[in-house]
Amino acid sequence: MPERLFEDADNWAKAARSKLDKFEENLDKPNFINYDLLETKDPSGGPDIINFGESLVTELEEHKDISMVRVAN
């Protein structure tokens, strides 16, 4: 499995935790909307946390299947 996937997963987890922490800090504000958690179509704003997470999971699953095939042989 590429080392990059471990780094990407770790970076994604840290970014997701930060965004969720911001959401939790503002739970008592009834009109608060954490726009960081919404899907974005603007690539200049950085990678979308949801789409990036989904693509990361897909890529990790591909390597899981390859590893299982190697173990079975």
The predicted pLDDT at position 10 comes to 92
pLDDT band at 36 (very low <50, low <70, confident <90, very high): low
SS3 26: coil
CB count within 10 Å of CB 49 equals 19
Higher pLDDT, 40 or 67: 40
For 1, residues 6+ apart whose C-beta sits below 8 A from its C-beta are 60, 63, 67
pLDDT per position as a tens digit, 8-25: 989 989 988 988 898 889
Domain boundary assignment for the chain: 3-72
Tell me the pTM.
Answer: 0.62
